[in-house]
Amino acid sequence: MLASITLIIIGFCLGMTAALLISKGKIRRATTLKEHKKDELDRNRRAHYFTQVGTWDWQINADILYWSDEIYAIFGYQIGEITPSYQKFISAVHPDDVASVQSAEQACMRGDKHYEIEYRIVWPDDSIHWLFESGDVLFDRDGKPERFTGIIREITRAKKTNDYYRELAHYDRLTGLPNRELFDQRIDEAITRAQHHNSMLALVFMDLNTFKPINDQYGHSTGDQVLQALGQRLKHSTRSIDTVARVGGDEFVAILEDVKRDEVLKIVENLRSLFLQPIAIDKQLFHLGISIGISLYPDDASDAEALIHIADMAMYQAKQSGENNIRFGHAVPTAKPTQTKAE
C-alpha cells in the first residue's frame, strides 16, 4: 500500500515537472516570437528611415493628419517637434508646386485617378528637397472621400543625379548652352506654341568668322576659354523666353519667340554686339567676327526643317558679302506643275 502511494506521488511530481517544462517552453517560444516581431518592426523602421520613406494617414473631414516617424525627418523636423496637419504640410510645399499638388489631390478625391506626384518642399532652414508621393482615397458609403493614405519618399539625391545626366545629354560641355539635340526639341516646341498663339518666331543662325585663327595661333585651350566666356555672355544677356544653342564648333543658333517682324532686327543686332565685344583671356583681347542669317515663322516656312535651311542659306549669303553682316532669308518658291496641252 505504502509503495503504491509512493509511486502515485512520484508520478504526480514527474507530471508537474513536465507540465512546468512545457509551460516554460511555450513562454520562451512566445517571448522569442514577440522579440522576433519587435526586431522585424525595428528593422522595417530603420529601413524606412535610411531609405527616407514615410507613411501618412489623413482623416479628411476631421482634418487629422498622422505622420510616421520618418516623415518628420523628411520635412526637416525632429520627431514630435510639430503637430502634423494639412495646413502645416501644404505650407511646406514649394510655392511653385502648391497648385499641382492640390490639383493631383483633388483628382484623386474625385476618384479620377491614383495620386502620384513629384514636388519640392522647403525645410525650416530654407533648403529645398524633392519628394515622391503616392496615395489613395477611401470613400464612405455615400461615395464621399473619408480618408487619404499614402507614402512619401525623399528623392533629392536621385533628382540631382538625373539632372546631372540630363545636363550631359542636352547641354554643351564648354559653354553650358543647349546643344543640337535640345535645340531640335525646342524648335519643334516653339513652332507648336507659335501656331497655338498665332505668333511669329525668328530662327537666327550665327557663324563665327575669326575663331579658327585663335585656335591655330593660341591653341585649343585658349579657344575653349573664348567659347566659355562667350557662352556666359549669351546666357546672361538674352530674353528668358528665347533659346541660344551651340550646334557646332563655331556655330550658334537662336530661337526668338513671340516677336514682331519690325523688332527682330533690333534683337539680332543686340545679339551681334555680344559676339563683337572683345573677350579678355589672360590679359589678351580676342576679337570675333560673326555672320548671321534669319528665317521667320510663318512668313518663310511652317516647319523646322525648312526654317533651318532658309536661315542657313541666309547666313551663307551674309558670310559671302563681308564681315559681321545680317541677312534675312526668303521662302523657297515651290515649282508649279507644268501644264501640257491635251492632244
- Predicted TM-score (pTM) of the model is 0.55
- Site of grid cell 567676327: 289
Q: CA nearest 318: which of 327, 309, 310?
A: 327
- Reduce the DSSP state of residue 225 to 3 states and report it: helix
**Secondary structure (DSSP) of 176-206:** -SB-HHHHHHHHHHHHHHHHHHT-EEEEEEE
Q: Which helix (H) or strand (E) holds 20?
A: helix 2-50
Closest CA to 147 of 63, 70, 212: 63
52: alpha, beta or left? (left if phi > 0; alpha if psi -120 to 50): left
Query: Tens digit of pLDDT per residue, the chain (343 long)?
Result: 555 555 455 555 555 555 555 555 555 555 554 555 445 444 444 444 444 688 999 999 999 999 999 999 999 999 999 999 999 999 999 999 999 999 999 999 998 888 999 999 999 999 999 999 988 899 999 999 999 999 899 988 888 887 777 777 888 888 889 999 999 999 999 999 999 999 999 999 999 988 889 888 888 888 888 998 898 899 888 888 899 999 988 999 999 999 999 999 999 999 999 999 999 988 889 999 999 999 999 999 999 999 999 999 999 999 998 889 999 998 765 544 444 444 3
Residue 246: beta bridge partners? 252
Q: Rounded to an integer, what distance in angstroms lies between the CA atom of residue 125 and that of residue 228?
A: 34
Distance CA 305, CA 203 (A): 11
Kindly list the catalytic residues.
250
191 close to 201: Cβ distance less than 8 angstroms: yes
Pairwise CA distance, residues 231 & 225, whole Å = 10
Beta bridge partners of 197: none
Output DSSP code: residue 134: E
Confidence (pLDDT) at 174:
83
pLDDT at 166: 74
229: phi > 0 → left, psi -120 to 50 → alpha, else beta; which? alpha
Task: Check residue 308 and give its pLDDT.
Answer: 96
